[in-house]
Structure 1
Amino acid sequence: MARGRTRTGRRDGGGTGRRIAVAVAVLAVVGGGVYGGTALKHHGDAARAEPAGAPYAQTTLVRRTDLSDSRVLPGTLGYGSALTIRGAGKGLITKLPAPGSTITRGKPLYWEDDQPVMVFYGGTPVFRTLDEAAVKAGASGTDVSVLADNLKALGYDIGPGPRGTQPATGAQKVPGTLLTSPLLDALKRWQRDTGQQQTGTLSVGQLVVLPGAVRVGAVKAQLGDPATAEVLSVTSRRKSVSVTVDAGDGDRIRQGDEVSIALPNSKEVPGKVASVGTAVQGGAVGESEPSGGDTSPSLQVTVVPVDSASVRNLDAASVRVTFTSQTRENVLTVPVGALLALQEGGYALQRPDGRLIPVETGLFARGQVEVSGAGVDEGERVVTAS
């Protein structure tokens, strides 16, 4: 809260004047560091004018600088949310990867009955048997597309099989790739090259389809467990920071925004907003938090370090993220306490001799305010209450 200060004016022609005490109230927004000045209150009766620029008046300089509206929020550094992998085979688990391992396209994720369960990239799991019988039936679909796309990406010739919307039974049409014999031949060659049984058939449970390369998180199964159990969890290979923000502030944060990440050793590294969640958590009417915690509506924002090497030695940590929603470059600024709210509306700055300079206000941030006007110049000294 800015301290009250006295402004003295003179009437034209001398004589009498009046003393006005002005209190400037500063509104502080706790996460954002945004401040504002408020109102004017008139006290006392008319009195004899006194010389302006009283010697006890505190002054400050009008400065030219960059002004940013930023907020600092706590975050958690890690590998992001984990995806649990559940087996779909009929055998037993005979080999498991080590936590922290990286698994890429065409590599085994775990072993069932001493046969590798491989990873393909895509969005559709293998949900049926793909074999010569399926070729004769004219099978097509997005699961076939996953098989074709991955074999081609691994360097195998899949033949000229048609793509696009293919006819299924009756008048129904299924989008995706048509299963062909050349595609199954490519599958058989890949099975041979990777130590699998060369069947030329793809069955449910032989592949795990993931969005991309992953890092093995927690291993949940033990050797000898049924392959239908929860086997392990996987995460992104890239470290990220998860930040909870007020839902009302979500529109001020955009994907690609630059941020600063403060690590536990106080080192700051640059980062970028990777995603802004759209699912609002908490804040339901009548909903109460059993632990007495905050239930205000919130969103999850994901931030990634620009240089992954900057967090190489940290697998998990509590960090602080600075978001900057506005930046005003090369503007004139004064402390908020230097503003006088005028009775007739608007704001002014006061010179030490008592004269007023009308100003327009811009961005309020970190106890400073952007000012502009015909009579305000860089380096000018003005009276301030703080």
Structure 2
Amino acid sequence: MSADGGTRDGSRLAVADGGGRTGGRIAVAVAVLAVIAGGVYGGTALERHGDAGHVKPAGVPSAQTTVIRRTDLSDSETLPGTLGYGAAVTVKGAGKGLITKLPASGSTVTRGKPLYWVDDRPVAVFYGDTPVFRTLDEAAVKAGASGSDVTVLADNLKALGYDIGPEPRHPRSSTGTGNAPGSVLTSSLLDALKRWQRDTGRQQTGTLSVGEVVVLPGAVRVGAVKAQLGDPAATDVLSVTSLRKSVSVTVDAGDAAQVHQGDKVVITLPDTKRIAGRVASVGTTVQGGPGDDASDSDTSPSVRVTVVPQDSAAVGNLDAASVRVTFTTETRENVLTVPVGALLALQEGGYALQRPGGELVAVKTGLFAKGRVEVSGAGIDAGQRVVTAS
């Protein structure tokens, strides 16, 4: 029984053993195939997964470089301005009589021509800086009259083509005494006055009275007419402006020292056209600021700068307009410059430039303008390349 039973157990064992080896081999084979299949599938799946969502490591970006350039660097400031004929000056009449004729607004009056009429007598324009403040006649000649008003008479008659004879002048006295400086009134000068009166249809009196002429700096354009016909001569008659168009710009008083007469500027017109101009004058009167009675609130102190177009024809179709004026406030000539993006701020302070190989070179900075900066330092020169961020 036992042997038979054992034989049966062994067979089972044998069968079991043989079946186990066969099953093991099958299991191993299946496992290997599964591993292979799984590896292939898994590799494919990983590859697909990597294509879909895996972020590959970024490579080292190539450095953008720029060249150190030697050039002129200029800073500028653009301010609003008003184009027109400049500040208007009020002409006030003098003497007796009534206003009988007035000019049209916009008309031009030059030396010797009438500006308006009093009692049907033309009041002419003379050029100068001193009004006729007294009667100039033979009695004044005998009194030895001299002064800047006499000079105005002499200069204008001479400019109008009249022979005024000898023109003695009194020099300015260093002690403040003696005759007034200027031309001496002479009989020959009054004779020239009489000829001018005859040629212009006036009474040949040889006398120039207060109110018979208006003394202005030069040729003028008539602005607003203030008086009416029949008003007394001694009133505000009209306003006049320069013949040349100009731009008035308000500049902060702190910046005015950087603006000089004769400086070149760029004027941008309302249609965006840019034309050349120059600074004609820089005001010396500061307006605004704390305590300025002209304003209810404190305003920044400022000065008035007058700019004129280089080519007046460029603004020939404009009588008045809002424009923009660009001033060059600072210029550095023949300096090394790089884009501002090439500067590296150092932890210990200051700035450096980086060469393409990574070396840092300390530099000093100067003027910043138009996206570039002036640099200087040992070891840098024009033509060298440095790394830049822009």
TM-score grouping bracket, smaller chain normalisation: 0.7 to 0.9
Give the alignment partner of residue 97 of structure 1, picking from 93, 103, 112. Answer: 103
Asked if 1:247 is matched to 2:229, the reply is no
Q: CA deviation at 1:378?
A: 3.1
Cα separation, partners in 2 of 1:298 and 1:136, compared to 1, 3 Å: same
* CA-atom RMSD in angstroms: 2.5
| 5+ long unaligned stretches in structure 2 | 1-57
Cα deviation per residue 1:48-95 (whole Å; 9 max; x = unaligned)? xxxxx9835873423535432111111111111111001103111111
Contact kept, 8 Å, 1:89 with 1:112, in 2: the verdict is no
Q: CA deviation at 1:289?
A: 4.2
- Residue matched to 1:73: 79
Q: State the shift of 1:138 in Å.
A: 2.0
Cα 1:57–1:209, aligned 2, differ >3 Å: closer, same or farther? same
Is 357-366 or 280-289 further displaced after alignment? 280-289
Distance 1:279 1:58, change over 3 A: farther
* Structure 1 counterpart of 2:330: 326
1:339 aligned onto 2:323: no
Counterpart pick for 1:109 among 104, 110, 115: 115
- The Cα offsets for residues 304-359 of structure 1, whole Å up to 9 and x where unpaired, read as 11111111111111100111122345644333233123244432112455321222
Q: Secondary structure at the match of 1:183?
A: helix
Cα distance in 2 between the residues matched to 1:57 and 1:285: 60
Letter of the 2:314 counterpart: S
In structure 1, runs of 5+ residues without a counterpart are 1-52
State whether structure 2 residue 300 is matched by structure 1 residue 296.
Answer: yes
Alpha carbons of structure 1 residues 278 and 54: separation in structure 2 relative to 1, 3 Å: farther
Q: Which is helix-richer, 1 or 2?
A: 2
Distance 1:68 1:201, change over 3 A: same
Q: 1:225 to 1:60 in 2, by over 3 A?
A: farther
Moved more, 356-365 or 245-254: 356-365
Label 1:286 to 1:115 Cα distance change in 2 as closer, same or farther (>3 A). closer
Distance 1:227 1:288, change over 3 A: closer
State which drifts further: 130-139 or 108-117.
Answer: 130-139
CA distance in 2, matches of 1:97, 1:58: 73
- Name the CA distance, whole Å, in 2 between partners of 1:161 and 1:348: 72
Q: Judging changes above 3 Å, is the alpha-carbon distance between structure 1 residues 58 and 246 closer, same or farther for their aligned structure 2 residues?
A: farther
Letter in 2 for 1:269: I
**Structure 1's 286 and 102: CA in aligned 2 closer, same or farther, altered over 3 A?**
closer
Counterpart amino acid of 1:382? V
What is aligned with 2:371? 367
Give 1:270 shift. 0.3
Q: Is the 8 A contact 1:166 1:177 kept in 2?
A: no
If the length of structure 2 is used for normalisation, what is the TM-score? 0.78
Q: Which residue of 1 aligns with 2:224?
A: 218
Whether contact under 8 Å (1:99, 1:216) holds in the other structure is yes
Change over 3 Å in CA distance of 1:233–1:308 after alignment to 2: same
Q: Which amino acid aligns with 1:325?
A: T
Q: CA deviation at 1:285?
A: 4.8
- Could you tell me which residue of structure 2 aligns to residue 380 of structure 1? 385
Task: Give the strand-richer structure, 1 or 2.
Answer: 1
Instruction: Mark the CA change 1:320 to 1:286 in structure 2 (over 3 Å): closer, same or farther.
Output: closer
TM-score under structure 1 length normalisation: 0.79
SS at match of 2:170: coil
Q: Distance in 2 between matches of 1:172 and 1:354?
A: 82
What is the rounded CA distance, in whole Å, between the counterparts of 1:286 and 1:93 in structure 2? 39
Distance 1:173 1:54, change over 3 A: farther
Larger radius of gyration: 2
Q: Secondary structure of the equivalent of 2:196?
A: helix
- Cα gap change, 1:229 to 1:329, in 2 (>3 Å): same
1:130-173 superposed Cα distances (whole Å, 9 cap, x missing partner): 11222222222221111111111111111224222499xxx742
Matched, 1:183 2:189: yes
- Which letter does structure 2 place at the counterpart of 1:132? E
Alignment match, 2:359: 355
**What amino acid maps onto 1:197 in structure 2?**
Q
